[in-house]
């Protein structure tokens, strides 16, 4: 519904919460390490579409969403999840190169590693196995 009827969908409230807030909470839960890798792989596609279609509304949330996706990528055990998460970043880099690179440069993961270097290492390590 975000693709076809973004404004109408986001105007809905669920209980006392706006739909946008609910979408963010659902996506965060689906990307979290507690979710299955299959669930997170499918959610990565939803996340990229959500960011690209609603970026004007979720601009302040994008760094946290990208950090969650990167944290999930670092701990990913299966190739489908790693591919889905790398493709999320590839799509964002294709659509919003400067802002995505800028956000990745500013992020530091828990181990003190640069988010951009972690992404590139993961991408280059697995790229030959991606479909």
Q: What is the pLDDT of residues 69-110, one digit of tens each?
A: 999 999 999 999 999 999 999 999 999 899 899 999 999 887
**What stretches of 1-131 show up as alpha helix (H) in DSSP?**
6-10, 19-31, 37-58, 62-75, 79-95, 97-106, 115-126
- What predicted TM-score, i.e. pTM, was given to this entire model? 0.87
Rounded to the nearest integer, the mean pLDDT of the chain is 90
Name the pLDDT band for 7 (thresholds 50, 70, 90).
Answer: confident
The answer to whether 118 and 109 have CB atoms below 8 angstroms apart is yes
Which sign does the torsion angle of CA 108, 110, 113, 119 carry?
A: negative
Instruction: Count the residues in the chain.
Output: 131
pLDDT tens for 57-72 read 888 888 899 999 999 9
**Across the strands, what pairs with 14?**
17
pLDDT at 2: 66
């Amino acid at each position: 519904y975000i693709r076809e009827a973004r404004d109408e969908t986001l105007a809905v409230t669920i209980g006392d919460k706006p739909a946008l807030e609910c979408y963010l909470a659902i996506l965060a839960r689906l990307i979290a390490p507690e979710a299955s890798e299959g669930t997170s792989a499918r959610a990565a596609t939803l996340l990229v579409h959500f960011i690209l279609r609603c970026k004007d509304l979720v601009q302040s949330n994008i760094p946290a969403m990208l950090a969650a996706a990167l944290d999930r990528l670092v701990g990913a055990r299966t190739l489908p999840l790693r591919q889905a998460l790398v493709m999320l970043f590839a799509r964002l880099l294709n659509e919003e190169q400067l802002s995505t690179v800028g956000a990745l440069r500013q992020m530091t993961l828990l181990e003190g590693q640069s988010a951009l270097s972690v992404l590139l290492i993961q991408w280059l390590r697995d790229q030959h196995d991606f479909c």
